[in-house]
Structure 1
Amino acid sequence: MPESAPPVEALATPAPLSTSEGGAGGLRRLNVLSLLGVVPFGAYVVVFLIIPTLVVVIGAFGANPDDGGGATLENIKALGSRQVVDAFVFSIALSAASALIGAVLGALLAYAVATAKPDGLLRRIVTSACAVLAQFGGVTLAFAFYATIGLTGFVTVYLADHFDVNIFAGGVWLFELPGLTLVYTYFQIPLMVIVFLPALDGIRPQWREAAESLGGSTWQYWRLVGGPLLAPAFLGSTLLLFANAFSAYATAAALVSQGSPIVPLQIRGALTSEVLLGQENVGKALALGMVVVVAIVMWLYAILQKRTSRWLG
Structure 2
Amino acid sequence: MTADTDATDAGAAATDVTEPGATPTATDTTVTPATSAHPGPDAAAPAARSGRRRRVGGGLAVVPLLAFVALAFGIPALAMLDGAFTVKDPVTGASSYGVANVTASVQGAYLTALIGSVKLSAFSAAIGVVCGLLLAQAVVTSRSRVLREAVLTASGVLANFGGVPLAFAFVATLGNSGFLTRRLDLTDKGWSLYSFSGLTLAYLYFLIPLMVLTITPALEGLRTQWREAARNNGATNAQYWRHVALPVLAPSLLGGFVLLFGSAFAAYATAAAMVGSSIPLVTLQIADALAGNVLVGQENVALALSLDMVLVAGLVMAVYLPLQRRSARWLA
Taking structure 1 as the reference length, the TM-score comes to 0.89
Amino acid at match of 2:72: F
The one of 80, 91, 101 equivalent to 2:127 is 101
Moved more, 85-94 or 268-277: 268-277
The one of 29, 35, 38 equivalent to 1:13 is 38
| C-alpha deviation, 1:130, in angstroms | 0.8
Partner of 1:61: 85
The one of 187, 190, 193 equivalent to 1:170 is 190
1:2/1:56 CA distance change after superposition, 3 Å = same
| C-alpha deviation, 1:12, in angstroms | 3.4
1:40-51 alignment, distance < 5 Å:
40-51=64-75
Amino acid at match of 1:51: I
Partner of 1:157: 182
1:222/1:24 CA distance change after superposition, 3 Å = closer
1:116/1:39 CA distance change after superposition, 3 Å = farther
Matched, 1:294 2:313: yes
Matched, 1:145 2:170: yes
Matched, 1:251 2:270: yes
Amino acid at match of 1:286: L
Query: Partners in 1 of 2:239 and 2:48 — Cα distance?
Result: 59
Q: Say if 2:288 and 2:294, in contact at 8 Å, map to a contact too.
A: no
Query: Partners in 2 of 1:114 and 1:184 — Cα distance?
Result: 24
Q: Say if 2:121 and 2:262, in contact at 8 Å, map to a contact too.
A: yes
| C-alpha deviation, 1:19, in angstroms | 6.5
| C-alpha deviation, 1:298, in angstroms | 1.8
1:106-117 alignment, distance < 5 Å:
106-117=132-143
1:220/1:25 CA distance change after superposition, 3 Å = closer
Query: Partners in 2 of 1:153 and 1:170 — Cα distance?
Result: 14
1:225/1:53 CA distance change after superposition, 3 Å = same
| C-alpha deviation, 1:311, in angstroms | 1.9
The one of 242, 259, 266 equivalent to 1:240 is 259
1:291/1:93 CA distance change after superposition, 3 Å = same
The one of 270, 283, 290 equivalent to 1:271 is 290
The one of 106, 125, 146 equivalent to 1:121 is 146
**Higher relative contact order, structure no. (Cα contacts within 8 Å, ≥ 6 residues apart):** 1
Partner of 2:221: 202
Q: State percent identity of aligned pairs.
A: 47
Taking structure 2 as the reference length, the TM-score comes to 0.84
Q: What is the RMSD of the two structures over their aligned residues, measured on CA atoms?
A: 2.3
| C-alpha deviation, 1:229, in angstroms | 1.3
| C-alpha deviation, 1:15, in angstroms | 3.4
Query: Partners in 1 of 2:39 and 2:60 — Cα distance?
Result: 34
Query: Partners in 1 of 2:293 and 2:100 — Cα distance?
Result: 21
- Cα deviation, 1:219-245, whole Å, max 9, x if unaligned, reads 222222112111222122112211221
| C-alpha deviation, 1:126, in angstroms | 1.1
Partner of 1:162: none
The one of 36, 39, 43 equivalent to 2:60 is 36
- Cα deviation, 1:49-89, whole Å, max 9, x if unaligned, reads 12111111111000237630110211011023221111111
Matched, 1:79 2:105: yes
Amino acid at match of 1:243: G
Name the larger-Rg structure: 2
Partner of 1:261: 280
| C-alpha deviation, 1:149, in angstroms | 0.6
SS of structure 1 residue aligned to 2:295: coil
Q: Structure 2: where are the runs of 5+ without partners?
A: 1-27
Amino acid at match of 2:283: P
- Cα deviation, 1:70-112, whole Å, max 9, x if unaligned, reads 1021101102322111111111110011001100000001111
Moved more, 294-303 or 98-107: 294-303
SS of structure 1 residue aligned to 2:97: coil
Matched residue count: 303
Query: Partners in 1 of 2:47 and 2:224 — Cα distance?
Result: 49
Q: Structure 1: where are the runs of 5+ without partners?
A: 160-164
